[in-house]
Chain A
């Protein structure tokens, strides 16, 4: 099944029922993480902004955290809303929807990797697979298919 394809001005989504179920759980997982004091995805990407200036880095981090939390909440809301609409049939993602989906999938992959200490070294290359690493891989396939179509749309628009 083709997960994503260009349809008119939008992107048609064709996730199978199992993938749809996983995506629905993903939004819940990310929402619960957002309410935790420590957010693995943020910790993974939020190295001090100024490596040589701890004061300026802390100041930026305070400002950035509020903005990021708002931005991620909006993305998750958009992601969940469109997923819910899939229960009654196929949906068409506009550009803003597709961008939100891409960011939610990235956040999920980074969060899962960070929780298992994989953000810096990557997925194990010895073939050992756990449920979470399998999920990171699956989400990578979904995100990769979406991004391929988004890049194709960009090319078409030029």
Chain B
């Protein structure tokens, strides 16, 4: 089964701490992981926040988009 990267894109509107909270509450990341991912997105413009099957990746993307975050999927 193929794997898909869940890619979170930086945006200049959502608060950094809000992104950390979303990554913690939706993806179950630790505070340290979530903050590192948020900073990577902020600095590099994007970060892979999860790698899943296509169906699971779509569900993750849906949940993250429901939190007003910009997310795309790409083949891993």
Contacts and interface: CB of A to CB of B under 8 A. Distances in A.
Interface residues of B, number: 26
Interface string A144-158: 100110110011000
B53 interface: no
Interface in B1-16: 9, 11-15
Contacts of B70: 44-45, 47
Interface of B: 9, 11-15, 17-18, 20-21, 24-25, 31, 58, 61-62, 65-74
Interface stretch (A9-17, A79-87, A105-113): A105-113
Contacts, number: 90
23 contacts: A45-B65, A45-B70, A45-B71, A47-B70, A47-B72, A49-B61, A49-B73, A50-B73, A51-B72, A60-B58, A102-B21, A103-B66, A107-B68, A110-B68, A113-B13, A119-B12, A119-B13, A121-B12, A143-B15, A144-B15, A144-B17, A147-B21, A151-B31
A91 interface: no
Interface in A117-136: 118-123, 136
Interface range on chain A (Cβ under 8 Å from partner): 35 or more
B11 A106 contact: no
Contacts of A99: 25
